[in-house]
Structure 1
Amino acid sequence: MKKKLVLIDGNSIAYRAFFALPLLNNDKGVHTNAVYGFTMMLMRIMEEEKPTHMLVAFDAGKTTFRHKTFSEYKGGRQKTPPELSEQFPFIRELLNAYGIPQYELENYEADDIIGTLSLLAEQEGFETRVISGDKDLTQLSSDKTTVNITRKGISEIEEYTPDHIKEKYGLTPGRIIDMKGLMGDASDNIPGVPGVGEKTAVKLLKEFNTLENLLDSIDQVSGKKLQEKLQEFKEQALMSKELATITREAPVEISLPEIEYKGYERENVLKIFKELNFNSLLDKLGAGEEEGIQEAEFEEISFEIPDEITDGLFADENAFYVEILDDNYHYADIIGFGLVNEKGNFFISPEKAYQSKAFKKWAEDETKKKTVYDAKASEVALRHRGIHLRGADFDLLLASYIINPSESSEDAAAVAKQHGFTNLQSDASFYGKGAKRSVPEEHKLAEHLVRKAAALDALREKLEAELKSNHQYELFTELEMPLSLVLADMEFQGVKLDLARLKKMEEEISEQLMQIETRIYDYSGESFNINSPKQLGVILFEKLGLPAAKKTKTGYSTSADVLEKLEAKHPIIKEILNYRQLGKLQSTYIEGLQKVVNPRTEKVHTRFNQALTQTGRLSSTDPNLQNIPIRLEEGRKIRQAFVPSEEGWVIFAADYSQIELRVLAHIAGDEKLVEAFQEGLDIHTKTAMEVFHVGADEVTSNMRRHAKAVNFGIVYGISDYGLSQSLGITRKEAGQFIDRYLESYPGVKEYMEDIVKDAKQKGYVSTLLQRRRYIPEITSRNFNLRSFAERTAMNTPIQGSAADIIKKAMIEMADRLKVEGLRARLLLQVHDELIFEAPEDEIQKLEKLVPEVMEHAVELKVPLVVDYSYGPTWFDAK
């Protein structure tokens, strides 16, 4: 079994969780928000990563060996709030309950423990994940170690691989410490070189590679002022680099076998959850079952299991629950149906349903209304059995999601409980989890599914009233419900993959890898396992005599950053780096896509998550087709494998141009912004003209770049700090730039001020189609939490409205294709783009029809503009 190590930066995650969540208390008055956030993150990690080894590292104290180098290291940090300090003992207690080892080391930081253990793990062939909120740890990234940095509190993760760091900074992970040496780090009070920011640091390192090379070549640096700064603060820069460097040779007295993760005792975890009043987490663990809550403790419910499925079971209005135990309903079997109507409560077994003409007739009868849970999943699962689900006019999952997207859940019991229906056991409790998961005997299953159908029946009226009260009933009935059927069609249809082309790509890369392998063996004079750091280290540093980093007990480091320093010293290094990059592309994408192809259809059938994001945007899983790599040329070529499913057809792609900026112009109603779009001007050039007070012919490419950054930044509620980081300018300059922008577009400024005031008063913001997002943190006393909430208030109406517009376009597009009698099919939605497959003889019609429908999906004060293209593959249609 592959060994996987997860290393967690305990202090960092605790701080992140504390400041991300509002203060919570248990019934004894103890603050629990940091423990709760930490627990949520732990549960997610264990579910997603499934580690074989695990450790949480903590800082041992305020003083470390770095203070001998610089006594002011980490000086100026605010004292830990007492509300957080009191939670650390509970976090440690939680880790003990979960059976997760924890470790701290006198005179060292958690970073050093993580750095040392991750290196040992690399040398032992482990796959390692580091979890932290501190970007300093990105220097540890390698082909075997991924550093996950928390964003937006702890709710989002940014994965730092060597490729991601290269794409983000243009540097290798090993150069992060050089960058810190130049720009410093205010959070750790690392001084760096005054006046050198991230952009300048990155530029200098791209040119000189290392800080030492740069400081040895100051006379070659362009700009006399910068030369003087570097000369003056030369020693400070070197010291800053030393402070930022994580030691990978800390005297850690815990070994990898000692941190093997063997799971946890459920009773121990339940005990601390109860102590901390984590009721929702108790439900997730099925605490009710642990406490002996059996069926009898729920209100009794009567039901029948009919021997034969006849017309007599069905009514004009029905609550109908389709149970698919596996998340991926394209490949899973339906295990039963719950039916509740005026005639009674029934359990229908799949075998009897499929043999019954009456069941198929009723399921496909549009006039027989059905209240369901997850109409899309139900339709797709039934369709794989040759049955279309029609007449589904209320979806409890979608209704609940619209009412409050922050409380979305896939578990019917959790959703029902949110709305006051408690006579239903959670799936985790009923079926069990992990290895213990199983389907009980028919009578118990029948009761569980009938209870689910009863929840649908009981809650429909209540949720309908709430949707109407919130002015969201139209959003539900005219957008999300019809969209679920469009998405079901897209999912069932799937996207054709040219397996021969993928196989050819695989063969081509395999051939390249073999050729590289041969060259590596020629250079080394012998064959060896290139993927073994231990064997590679011996070849490079003993046989070839290349300069090595310090040797540890387990061997030499051969991480990417170590190798890149040696690239000029021997041609074997370039070959090894290329070998690793091609190998990752091969395993992750070329082979990865082939694994998810349905062998019967030779297609991939992604699942669109319709009730997940708080902005209303769709996401895609199994596989995530919204995330096919496009920035690297090799990645873009993967789209060549996405082809039409029929001979003589092509792929047709259409996407909205700058839809979010157009939505901003409409919502803000700013005269100049509206006028610019109405006249078809280049909006970034127009903004540059306004901000810099120049004519169109005087706008330079740099001015336009700055204007573009602030245009899109405004959509996301960018701060002066964010813009300064994006453009590599000072915070003061960025602030002045934003001020000039808002002076130029006063309507945008007014919108931003008004939407924040509105959100503070109402507690939520709305899109053009009345989709809501609740933002309780907007009145928080915590500055960081409140600032993030204000930016969320500014951007959600824009992002959410753009999402609503493309959803509306999808529904109207599907309708028009039917009305026009076209064979063209909608295949994918990727951000602001729709992708179709169509016969070549329909392309002329699509060139007119698609832009016409998409551009008039919603009428704004400014025109919506759609660009389109087509070709034999998805790659060619871009």
Structure 2
Amino acid sequence: MSLKKKLVLIDGNSIAYRAFFALPLLNNEKGVHTNAVYGFTMMLMKVMEEEKPTHLLVAFDAGKTTFRHQTFKEYKGGRQKTPPELSEQFPYIRELLKNYRIPQFELENYEADDIIGTLALQAEQEGYEVKVFSGDKDLTQLSSETTTVCITRKGITDIEVYTPEHIQEKYGLTPSQIIDMKGLMGDSSDNIPGVPGVGEKTAIKLLKQFSTLETLLESIDEVSGKKLKEKLEEFKDQAVLSKELATILREVPMDMTVDSLAYDGPDQDKVYHLFKELGFNSLLDKMEKPEGEVEEAHTAVEYETVSELDDSMLPAHSSFYLEMIADNYHQADVPGVAISTEEKTFFVSAESAFQSPAFKAWAENPDMKKSVYDAKRTIVGLRRQGIELQGIDFDLLLASYLINPSESPEDFSAVAKLHGVRNIQSDEAVYAKGAKRKLPEEAIYAEHISAKAQALQSLKETCLKELEENGQLELFNELELPLAIILADMESVGVSVDVERLKQMGEELKKQLSVIEKTIHELAGEEFNINSPKQLGVILFEKLGLPPVKKTKTGFSTSADVLEKLAPQHEIVEHILHYRQLGKLQSTYIEGLLKVVDQDTHKIHTRFNQVLTQTGRLSSIEPNLQNIPIRLEEGRKIRQAFVPSKEGSVIFAADYSQIELRVLAHISDDAKLIDAFHQDLDIHTATAMDVFHVSKEEVTANMRRQAKAVNFGIVYGISDYGLSQSLGITRKDAGKFIERYLESYPGVKEYMDDIIQEAKQKGYVTTLLQRRRYIPEITSRNFNLRGFGERTAMNTPIQGSAADIIKKAMIDAAERLEQENLQSTLLLQVHDELIFEVPEEEIEIMKKLVPEVMEQAVELKVPLKVDYSFGPTWYDAK
């Protein structure tokens, strides 16, 4: 029995476009954009693997004009010009197909659709199974018993399969009626006019009644609806033309036959070398290397294991890697260290290194310059051994983060791969993960650690050059690297916790939860598990008869947003919301904090993540001290447990007042906004005056609340929908509110328009200190993704600049504390706030020093303003 022949036809232009807009802009080492080629390749590989075609063709459009333009000059008019970043990738896509030995074809005066339509028909007649792949739904008209049309939806590999049955189920039509539907509703993407006012729903309804466009136009009198009749009568000819334009030609004059498209497989060597040129490292890893290709062995590293370090091994310029086997480096085991120069790499066990006076002297000498990976982690790790590391002049992790903050590599090997070094195994491969994690024999981990030190040495110049090209060297050297050292100090010092107070709060919360639980059960008329969404749903929607708002796979949703909408309808809902809030405080914060308190020192050592957020904001983990909920009084009270470590000291908190709005005033250069800050006006009242056209005395509390929502909303790129939800007003009213705001502050409007255009042109936006954020979504054809990209473009320069400013303030504050020989210590950074521990005798000095340092961190067109307070606990410092 012979294998059934299968022909796969791919719409080349359509898939390339889909790939380009679905993936972020990627570049190879030569700076060539590769995202469309990569996406196209992924789709191609998926098709080959799943379909296993015996015959294959990729069809392309030959040019801008086709035979359809002779009928209708405006056909496909109004389409945006192909982005140059995509145009430059088409030669690589064609080369990819050539190396895969896949036939490709185009024909002047015809579209790829017509070539595909003609070959599909020919293949059907010759007994082939046919699969068509495109991003264009026009091709669904080709669907038949033997031809399946696969249309990409999200991205490249999410496919919707159109068979005659699926078309019937989706539209209630046959494949041939797709062109009738297009004739009626038109197609804006191809500039096919259709009948004005007739959308998909109306077109389907009419075709279910009349079957074809021609029958419908002959029977217009039978159509219900006077207005619709008039439209059909008036645009009869336009409908016929539209159907003609939408019809795929299935008799293209060409010599090619289906049999000539037999597929024998790729030229693996050529594909390999193309992937290498394009930098498709993840795909290279899955391929066999061509004969003669140098194998990049994971541990092909020349190094020397030494039992003792001497001065000759510890030069003035080197790369130094400290291995730590645990996620939490405050408690991690250190198996060894490696030091690498251009000439040689040395590995030494941790025990030998830490007992070596030569190593300690070298590590603590600021004149001995060292390249490291994760300065903060390395400083903390050595400090635990009584060694104060100094002289760091390069940090690969920080450099990589600044070059592209959207990458979130898991370990050293992933960071190295981003910059072209692929000979390093992942930590998981060497040490395993979780409960299975263990140290292998020394030869294995010594080689692994040495490979990392060598990679550090080789990547330093590459990364510094890229930072320089991006204008980010100052950001790296003057902000992020010094900050890493300060964060290491903050982590090492930790924050003191009153454990007994924390336990007492836990008991108080348990009592409150018990009372609320009893109230909820009384209101429900029975006992049930409040934490079970299923049981709660039964009580709310079946027993109490509240209207369900949202459905889930398992029943009706009882999420917080649903409960908030139901709150006015029954008093039980407010109690449930309060119960949940207190329950989270109890489990996440009271119990969570008690778990991480050091039993000996009663301190918490949170870890600050410097390379996580794309805006440059710091975050903290284990525990996250930035997210203690303070809207609830019970949440605020948790801060009572954070106390000074020494008697006679206080907690001193200083925070920026409306820093993001001040940054907005500076960036937008809006005269009115700048003036309001110079006059030290209440900015929300000033906005309300401008938007509502009232005097200061006429501004009501509600007006100020709305103005505040739009002020902060603008910073985050709020939409009319978002503002309507926030204020509980209609979307229309919210839209008018935003409109009036932008009329009042034309500089802000101009900034928003300009920054979106800039992001579209460059692919990224920058902060005041040149931090970059790449925004591939901004050119997406998907409305929601593009909207996200635009909001991101608007708010990143504001949020990112605010993050830069507070980081600069932390560095300046640390310098001043050292210069003036003060005992005050910086403990925490929480959003726009700095928390210090201050001896009582230094309070007067700090009341002047901290605001001065923070307000002078950078110079803006408006003054920065800092508020401060202090007290015996963090709670009292408000």
- What residue is the counterpart of 1:117 in the other structure? none
- What residue is the counterpart of 1:25 in the other structure? 39
User: Is the CA contact (8 Å cut-off) linking 2:724 and 2:730 kept in structure 1?
Assistant: yes
Instruction: Give 1 or 2 for the bigger CA radius of gyration.
Output: 2
User: Is the CA contact (8 Å cut-off) linking 2:22 and 2:780 kept in structure 1?
Assistant: no
- Whole-angstrom CA distance in 1 between matches of 2:700 and 2:399: 50
**SS of 1:27 mapped into structure 2:** helix
- What residue is the counterpart of 1:859 in the other structure? 859
- What residue is the counterpart of 1:121 in the other structure? none
How far the C-alpha of 1:428 sits from its partner, in A, is 2.9
Q: Assess, with a 3 A threshold, how the Cα gap between structure 1 residues 28 and 348 changes in structure 2: closer, same or farther.
A: closer
**SS of 1:608 mapped into structure 2:** strand
The amino acid across from 2:668 in the alignment is A
User: Is the CA contact (8 Å cut-off) linking 1:424 and 1:448 kept in structure 2?
Assistant: yes
**SS of 1:652 mapped into structure 2:** strand
User: Is the CA contact (8 Å cut-off) linking 1:678 and 1:863 kept in structure 2?
Assistant: yes
1:351-405 deviation digits (Å, cap 9, x = unpaired): 1112111111111111110000000011011111211111011001111111111
The amino acid across from 1:638 in the alignment is I
1:728-757 deviation digits (Å, cap 9, x = unpaired): 333332222222222221111121122122
**SS of 2:806 mapped into structure 1:** helix
- Whole-angstrom CA distance in 2 between matches of 1:733 and 1:435: 56
User: Is the CA contact (8 Å cut-off) linking 1:475 and 1:771 kept in structure 2?
Assistant: yes
1:78-134 deviation digits (Å, cap 9, x = unpaired): x99921289788899xxxxxxxxxxxxxx9xxxxxxxxxxxxxxxxxxxxxxxxxxx
1:83 paired to 2:122? no
- Whole-angstrom CA distance in 2 between matches of 1:566 and 1:672: 41
1:836 paired to 2:836? yes
- Whole-angstrom CA distance in 1 between matches of 2:392 and 2:677: 41
**SS of 1:788 mapped into structure 2:** helix
- Whole-angstrom CA distance in 2 between matches of 1:611 and 1:511: 41
The amino acid across from 1:685 in the alignment is T
Q: Assess, with a 3 A threshold, how the Cα gap between structure 1 residues 421 and 536 changes in structure 2: closer, same or farther.
A: closer
**SS of 1:406 mapped into structure 2:** coil
- What residue is the counterpart of 1:301 in the other structure? 301
- Whole-angstrom CA distance in 2 between matches of 1:570 and 1:681: 42
- Whole-angstrom CA distance in 2 between matches of 1:824 and 1:668: 37
**SS of 1:25 mapped into structure 2:** helix
**SS of 2:835 mapped into structure 1:** strand
- What residue is the counterpart of 2:324 in the other structure? 324
Q: Assess, with a 3 A threshold, how the Cα gap between structure 1 residues 754 and 88 changes in structure 2: closer, same or farther.
A: closer
Q: How many residues align?
A: 629
Identity rate, percent: 62
- What residue is the counterpart of 1:630 in the other structure? 630
- Whole-angstrom CA distance in 1 between matches of 2:683 and 2:660: 12
- What residue is the counterpart of 1:727 in the other structure? 727
Q: Assess, with a 3 A threshold, how the Cα gap between structure 1 residues 290 and 827 changes in structure 2: closer, same or farther.
A: farther
**SS of 2:626 mapped into structure 1:** helix
The amino acid across from 1:631 in the alignment is R
- What residue is the counterpart of 1:373 in the other structure? 373
- What residue is the counterpart of 2:662 in the other structure? 662
User: Is the CA contact (8 Å cut-off) linking 1:287 and 1:429 kept in structure 2?
Assistant: no
**SS of 1:439 mapped into structure 2:** coil
Map 1:670-709 to 2 at 5 A. 670-709=670-709
Q: Assess, with a 3 A threshold, how the Cα gap between structure 1 residues 338 and 636 changes in structure 2: closer, same or farther.
A: same
1:433-454 deviation digits (Å, cap 9, x = unpaired): 3454332211111111111111
User: Is the CA contact (8 Å cut-off) linking 2:778 and 2:790 kept in structure 1?
Assistant: yes
- What residue is the counterpart of 1:433 in the other structure? 433
Q: Report which structure shows greater RCO (CA 8 Å, sep ≥6).
A: 1
Q: Assess, with a 3 A threshold, how the Cα gap between structure 1 residues 512 and 320 changes in structure 2: closer, same or farther.
A: same
How far the C-alpha of 1:298 sits from its partner, in A, is 4.2
Range with greater deviation from structure 2 (611-620 or 427-436): 427-436
Give unpaired runs (5+ residues) of structure 2. Answer: 1-18, 25-35, 48-139, 141-148, 162-168, 170-200, 202-271, 547-554
The amino acid across from 2:842 in the alignment is E
User: Is the CA contact (8 Å cut-off) linking 1:26 and 1:32 kept in structure 2?
Assistant: no
**SS of 1:826 mapped into structure 2:** strand
- Whole-angstrom CA distance in 2 between matches of 1:667 and 1:518: 54
The amino acid across from 1:614 in the alignment is Q
Q: Assess, with a 3 A threshold, how the Cα gap between structure 1 residues 294 and 603 changes in structure 2: closer, same or farther.
A: farther
User: Is the CA contact (8 Å cut-off) linking 2:827 and 2:835 kept in structure 1?
Assistant: yes
- Whole-angstrom CA distance in 2 between matches of 1:571 and 1:757: 49
User: Is the CA contact (8 Å cut-off) linking 1:31 and 1:83 kept in structure 2?
Assistant: no
- Whole-angstrom CA distance in 2 between matches of 1:588 and 1:573: 22
The amino acid across from 1:853 in the alignment is V
**SS of 1:488 mapped into structure 2:** helix
- Whole-angstrom CA distance in 2 between matches of 1:320 and 1:851: 38
How far the C-alpha of 1:800 sits from its partner, in A, is 0.6
Q: Assess, with a 3 A threshold, how the Cα gap between structure 1 residues 91 and 487 changes in structure 2: closer, same or farther.
A: farther
- What residue is the counterpart of 2:483 in the other structure? 483
Range with greater deviation from structure 2 (793-802 or 341-350): 341-350
Q: Please give the root-mean-square deviation of Cα atoms over the aligned residues, in Å.
A: 4.5
The amino acid across from 2:379 in the alignment is E
- What residue is the counterpart of 1:640 in the other structure? 640
How far the C-alpha of 1:20 sits from its partner, in A, is 7.5
- What residue is the counterpart of 1:777 in the other structure? 777
1:391 paired to 2:460? no
1:206-249 deviation digits (Å, cap 9, x = unpaired): xxxxxxxxxxxxxxxxxxxxxxxxxxxxxxxxxxxxxxxxxxxx
Q: Assess, with a 3 A threshold, how the Cα gap between structure 1 residues 644 and 288 changes in structure 2: closer, same or farther.
A: farther
TM-score for both structures, normalised by structure 2: 0.64
Q: Assess, with a 3 A threshold, how the Cα gap between structure 1 residues 516 and 736 changes in structure 2: closer, same or farther.
A: closer
Q: Assess, with a 3 A threshold, how the Cα gap between structure 1 residues 866 and 569 changes in structure 2: closer, same or farther.
A: closer
Q: Assess, with a 3 A threshold, how the Cα gap between structure 1 residues 791 and 585 changes in structure 2: closer, same or farther.
A: closer
Q: Assess, with a 3 A threshold, how the Cα gap between structure 1 residues 287 and 436 changes in structure 2: closer, same or farther.
A: farther
- What residue is the counterpart of 2:798 in the other structure? 798
- Whole-angstrom CA distance in 1 between matches of 2:756 and 2:649: 49
Q: Assess, with a 3 A threshold, how the Cα gap between structure 1 residues 679 and 28 changes in structure 2: closer, same or farther.
A: closer
Range with greater deviation from structure 2 (567-576 or 616-625): 567-576
- What residue is the counterpart of 1:124 in the other structure? none
1:307-345 deviation digits (Å, cap 9, x = unpaired): 212223200001001111211111112222121025621
Q: Assess, with a 3 A threshold, how the Cα gap between structure 1 residues 512 and 462 changes in structure 2: closer, same or farther.
A: closer
Q: Assess, with a 3 A threshold, how the Cα gap between structure 1 residues 779 and 644 changes in structure 2: closer, same or farther.
A: same
How far the C-alpha of 1:283 sits from its partner, in A, is 6.0
How far the C-alpha of 1:488 sits from its partner, in A, is 0.4
1:502-549 deviation digits (Å, cap 9, x = unpaired): 1222333455667889999999999x9978979999xx99xxxx9899
Q: Assess, with a 3 A threshold, how the Cα gap between structure 1 residues 283 and 380 changes in structure 2: closer, same or farther.
A: farther
TM-score for both structures, normalised by structure 1: 0.64
1:584-603 deviation digits (Å, cap 9, x = unpaired): 43332211110011223211
Q: Assess, with a 3 A threshold, how the Cα gap between structure 1 residues 32 and 785 changes in structure 2: closer, same or farther.
A: farther
User: Is the CA contact (8 Å cut-off) linking 2:338 and 2:346 kept in structure 1?
Assistant: yes
- What residue is the counterpart of 1:362 in the other structure? 362
User: Is the CA contact (8 Å cut-off) linking 2:22 and 2:155 kept in structure 1?
Assistant: no
- Whole-angstrom CA distance in 2 between matches of 1:525 and 1:460: 68
Range with greater deviation from structure 2 (734-743 or 317-326): 734-743
How far the C-alpha of 1:781 sits from its partner, in A, is 2.6
- Whole-angstrom CA distance in 1 between matches of 2:383 and 2:578: 45
- Whole-angstrom CA distance in 1 between matches of 2:481 and 2:723: 39
User: Is the CA contact (8 Å cut-off) linking 2:364 and 2:390 kept in structure 1?
Assistant: yes
Map 1:507-656 to 2 at 5 A. 507-510=507-510, 582-656=582-656
**SS of 2:758 mapped into structure 1:** helix
**SS of 1:309 mapped into structure 2:** coil
- Whole-angstrom CA distance in 2 between matches of 1:826 and 1:420: 38
The amino acid across from 1:332 in the alignment is A
- Whole-angstrom CA distance in 1 between matches of 2:289 and 2:525: 63
**SS of 1:841 mapped into structure 2:** helix
1:63-83 deviation digits (Å, cap 9, x = unpaired): xxxxxxxxxxxxxxxx99921
- Whole-angstrom CA distance in 1 between matches of 2:421 and 2:717: 39
Range with greater deviation from structure 2 (797-806 or 430-439): 430-439
- What residue is the counterpart of 2:786 in the other structure? 786
The amino acid across from 2:871 in the alignment is G
**SS of 1:334 mapped into structure 2:** coil
- Whole-angstrom CA distance in 2 between matches of 1:753 and 1:557: 41
